[in-house]
């Protein structure tokens, strides 16, 4: 477990963008879950926006939203405690003079040792001016921490520009670059699976693993945010952060400890060893797709170019499939297949570790199919771990083999509620624990790799392959893996 059960007994968390979707749908529900578990101590939550609201207006606005979000977990006694720690401040982050009311409110904390968290839940283009105005208002201190939401830029240059602006105000130790995927229980369980079990780590290399698949699939489309999505696309929106972070946790060397820099040093080594996808590599080992009209759960849905506010000429990708390798001793020759997309048949995030077949098959061809073991780590939904093994079919008849799963469902194996990803990450920020957050050099290295692919795509006149909504993407994505004699996990029918 990476989060201590004991947390700071006092803190101030200031959420800039307090009336936005991120605050209302993710951050405040996560903090309310912490309230349910009585883990917020004497902390205060100050929500900041330029919307003309009183504190009572704001509280009245968020209460029904929290009740809807938490459902059966909503508790009126917990709400009373939560409401008592809430406040609302009117601030325009682009105007330094409006920070006076926030400064006055924070001055009531009474101690310079009280951790102060600034959560930038707004457009990254505002990060620099917000940081500078906090500094101008005298609101930056040694105990301050700043949480930055993705996306940090749209390429390496813009990412560096944002990080430079933040670095002009905050030290690196104070910066927490968040990726909510790293707060998921099953993602953190990767560390336990690999490094707390003697069964797996000796086999975790090219000697025993045939290939690795990482899939993050979404059923939804752009959800009314076409213009925003068209600026990023699947590669920037999902691969640059979520998928590359999962890849790093799967492939990294055992760190010397779970100290933040020890873990992040090993993740950085993986990013540096990734095979560049430039030139012919980009053409041979990547597939871009764009969804067209189809059906999801039996209901018709429009294509990407038919969504509200869409432009017919857009060639933005809504699907990406990638084959890459890691050029180091442990993984040489092992392909890593990454796949993500919108309007796919189901919402699923999973990591598939495909082990090699046994070196010699003792059984007749009619006994069963020769197949390697498969470890599936399900991140969402139905979090858990599944290991497929060859097993004799019970009975007194002919000897037959069938691959069957050993299934660990987190919901069945562990009592109680599974932690919300943001819940765990916010508690880590309060504690000052940065293991699950990205260091600046990690972000730079990830963008360097992504930029190589973006530049190659820019030089390629071909458009993304279209795929029908409700399918698993373009047929070229199937061909990408089948050229190697392998198949995507969904295609295998397992």
Q: Is the N-terminal amide bond of 381 cis, ω within 30° of 0? A: yes
Tokens in use for 2? 């990476």
Tokens in use for 392? 């004799």
Q: Is the CB of residue 104 less than 8 Å from the CB of residue 77?
A: no
| Helices 28-36 and 55-70, packing angle to 10 deg | 70
Residue 363 CB: number of other CB atoms within 10 A? 13
* Whole-number Å distance between alpha carbons of 327 and 332: 5
Q: Is the CB of residue 354 less than 8 Å from the CB of residue 374?
A: yes
Q: Which residue has the tokens 């820019």?
A: 458
Which one-letter DSSP state was computed for residue 252? P
Please write down the long-range contacts of 78-84, taking CB distance under 8 Å and 24 or more positions apart. Answer: 78/32, 78/35, 78/36, 79/32, 81/35, 82/31, 82/32, 82/35, 83/59
Q: Is the CB of residue 7 less than 8 Å from the CB of residue 39?
A: yes
Closest CA to 454 of 195, 209, 188, 239: 239
Number of separate helices (H) and strands (E) present in the chain: 17, 17
Active-site amino acid positions: 242
Give the β-pairing of 465-468 and 86-90. Answer: unpaired
Compute, in degrees rounded to 10, the torsion defined by CA atoms 19, 24, 25, 27.
110
DSSP per residue, 153-169: -SSHHHHHHHHHHHHTT
* Whole-number Å distance between alpha carbons of 248 and 271: 7
Q: Is the CB of residue 28 less than 8 Å from the CB of residue 66?
A: yes
Strand, helix or coil at 273?
A: helix
Phi, psi of 212 (to 5 degrees): -130, 135
Which one-letter DSSP state was computed for residue 105? H
Question: Which H or E run contains 349?
Answer: strand 348-355
Residues in CB range of 195: below 8 A, 6 or more apart: 201, 254
């Amino acid at each position: 477990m990476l989060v201590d059960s004991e947390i700071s007994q006092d803190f101030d968390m200031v959420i800039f963008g307090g009336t936005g979707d991120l605050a209302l749908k993710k951050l405040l529900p996560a903090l309310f879950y912490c309230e349910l578990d009585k883990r917020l101590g004497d902390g205060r939550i100050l929500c900041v926006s330029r919307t003309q609201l009183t504190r009572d207006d704001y509280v009245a606005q968020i209460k029904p939203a929290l009740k809807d979000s938490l459902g059966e977990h909503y508790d009126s006694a917990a709400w009373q405690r939560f409401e008592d720690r809430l406040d609302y401040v009117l601030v325009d982050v682009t105007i330094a003079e409006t920070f006076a009311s926030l400064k006055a409110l924070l001055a009531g904390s009474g101690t310079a040792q009280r951790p102060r968290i600034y959560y930038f839940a707004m457009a990254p283009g505002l990060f620099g001016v917000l940081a500078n105005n906090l500094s101008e208002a005298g609101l930056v201190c040694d105990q301050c921490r700043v949480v930055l939401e993705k996306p940090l830029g749209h390429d390496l240059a813009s990412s560096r520009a944002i990080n430079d602006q933040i670095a002009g105000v905050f030290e690196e130790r104070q910066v927490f670059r968040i990726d909510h995927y790293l707060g998921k229980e099953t993602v953190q369980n990767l560390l336990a699976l690999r490094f707390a079990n003697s069964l797996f780590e000796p086999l975790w290399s090219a000697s025993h693993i045939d290939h690795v698949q990482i899939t993050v699939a979404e059923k939804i489309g752009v959800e009314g945010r076409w213009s925003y999505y068209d600026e990023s696309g699947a590669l920037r929106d999902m691969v640059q952060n979520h998928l590359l972070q999962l890849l790093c946790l799967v492939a990294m060397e055992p760190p010397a400890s779970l100290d933040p820099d020890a873990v992040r040093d090993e993740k950085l080594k993986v990013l540096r060893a990734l095979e560049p996808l430039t030139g012919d590599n980009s053409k041979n080992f990547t597939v871009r797709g764009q969804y067209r009209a189809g059906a999801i759960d039996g209901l018709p849905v429009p294509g990407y170019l038919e969504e509200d506010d869409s432009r017919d000429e857009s060639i933005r990708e809504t699907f990406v499939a990638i084959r890459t390798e890691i050029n180091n001793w442990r993984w040489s020759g092992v392909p890593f297949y990454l796949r993500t997309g919108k309007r796919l048949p189901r919402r699923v995030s999973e990591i598939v570790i495909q082990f090699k077949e046994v070196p010699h098959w003792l059984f007749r061809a009619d006994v069963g199919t020769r197949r390697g073991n498969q470890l599936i780590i399900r991140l969402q939904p139905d979090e858990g771990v599944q290991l497929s093994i060859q097993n004799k079919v019970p009975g007194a008849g002919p000897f037959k083999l069938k691959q069957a799963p050993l299934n660990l469902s987190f919901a069945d194996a562990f009592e109680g509620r599974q932690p919300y990803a943001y819940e765990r990450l916010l508690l880590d920020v309060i504690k000052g624990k940065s293991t699950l957050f990205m260091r600046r050099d990690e972000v730079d290295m990830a963008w360097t790799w992504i930029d190589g692919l973006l530049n190659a795509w820019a030089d390629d006149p071909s458009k993304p392959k279209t795929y029908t909504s409700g399918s698993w993407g373009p047929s070229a994505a199937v061909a990408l893996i089948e050229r190697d004699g392998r198949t995507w996990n969904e295609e295998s029918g397992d």
